[in-house]
Structure 1
């Protein structure tokens, strides 16, 4: 009885939500539908109810049929929640369809006024101050199996998993991912755009891997790799490279 009296009707807490970025390079609905069918193989649960941020920087957003776009994504398991890089005059229309505006700041910080107007003079050599210490975020360690339907997210750090990642499970990290067991589910490293992030696996049986939003599935089979070798997955240009991690 005491809990019911002290408990608030609504509580707001900070929660981390991971969303995929969907970059539209065309506005024609039929082209987008065809591309999604090729990507997903027609599977309605390919994206497993992921939240999606739609990036319209490459197209004219005013030509989009928002209800049709939202319905198309939903049919593939993507829930559109926000739009990125839309012109300001389109914000009201976008919000009217239940989508938020994802603001990406591209402005460079201005120099202080005295630095902008200072004449170019030779300054005396002075001792360089020690850099400010950077807070170290330790890796998240998971030592129990990640089961189907579970999602683990290592925010701002690497993720180390010492047990298997089963089919239908998903592990995500802003840094690199190290899995010292079979990877049968999904692994997404560099979730906030770190293109230098990597995935290391001792037994590669993944459904999907991703580095900084660029992903690869293995419906047609896995690359031919040296047996009994740990695997390294990294980004080379705009492509995923899967290779054996041989000792030097």
Structure 2
């Protein structure tokens, strides 16, 4: 995530439970509504019915009473389905239960070892050899897992908006304004002006790339290696078709003008 992400009243992350985690710094629906409108551009269909867990660990000043109906209504407005809470002060546990929200142990969100490793038994002694079985045709190879579809964003992203392509590439057809932020676990392709912050390989993919037809971002980052342009974009690639990728030897960022002719 970006260096200034923690300054936002709400931030969305993925979890090992398959639900979206909403890390909030304020519990008032009105404050969060303003932040979500700026971040998501007021698009009511930004999410696609995803389940969401509210994380209250960063709320500095908890109200005496939480407006659960207001919070749930706000999240559902963006097609999010609230199912639970974590790091909620104990004084609010009962009201959360009455609102139909589960109290989730934060440890459940930590990464788990693969199921195969957890299920593998440990033998105390060497097993006796099994009798020879008749030869049989080899089993067909398992079908490949379906790839996560590329995320396409057709409209320009305005200042304060954020888009995160979880587990896939991000294709931007309308450009990115200053102050906007685009994040992808894969690569980022921007066919309009790239003026905000572009973060590719967010989960550590060193092979991810950032490609823009009109290069002028505030920050680019691949797999945690970043570069800012506080003093402006170098003339060599300012406003030009440009590619950003990691150098395979020392993991520094390479920024190269694309020759499209």
TM-score between the two structures when normalised by the length of structure 2:
0.50
CA contact 2:188–2:200 (8 Å) conserved in 1: yes
Deviation at 1:246, TM superposition (A): 2.5
Distance 1:173 1:112 in 2: 34
Deviation at 1:130, TM superposition (A): 2.2
> How many residues are aligned here?
169
Instruction: Report the equivalent of 2:229.
Output: 218
Distance 1:118 1:227 in 2: 69
The yes-or-no answer on 1:163 pairing with 2:171 is no
TM-score between the two structures when normalised by the length of structure 1:
0.52
Task: Map 1:1-248 onto structure 2 (within 5 A).
Answer: 19=1, 48-49=7-8, 103-104=110-111, 109=117, 112=120, 127=138, 129-225=140-236, 229-236=240-247, 237-247=250-260
SS at 2:117 equivalent:
coil
Deviation at 1:220, TM superposition (A): 2.9
Change in 2 beyond 3 A, CA 1:205/1:126: same
Distance 1:203 1:118 in 2: 67
CA contact 2:151–2:168 (8 Å) conserved in 1: yes
Deviation at 1:131, TM superposition (A): 3.4
Deviation at 1:174, TM superposition (A): 1.2
Distance 1:137 1:186 in 2: 23
Instruction: Report the equivalent of 2:49.
Output: none
Unaligned runs of 5+ in 2: 12-56, 59-86, 88-105, 130-134
Instruction: Report the equivalent of 2:46.
Output: none
CA contact 1:190–1:211 (8 Å) conserved in 2: yes
SS at 1:109 equivalent:
helix
Distance 1:232 1:176 in 2: 11
Change in 2 beyond 3 A, CA 1:226/1:150: closer
Greater Cα shift, 139-148 or 220-229: 220-229
CA deviation profile, 1:11-30 (whole Å, cap 9, x unmatched): xxxxxxxx45xxxxxxxxxx
Unaligned runs of 5+ in 1: 1-18, 21-39, 52-80, 83-94
Distance 1:161 1:186 in 2: 13
Instruction: Report the equivalent of 2:64.
Output: none
CA deviation profile, 1:212-233 (whole Å, cap 9, x unmatched): 2221101133345368752111
CA deviation profile, 1:69-127 (whole Å, cap 9, x unmatched): xxxxxxxxxxxx69xxxxxxxxxxxx9xxxx77845579937945998698xxxx8974
Deviation at 1:208, TM superposition (A): 0.7
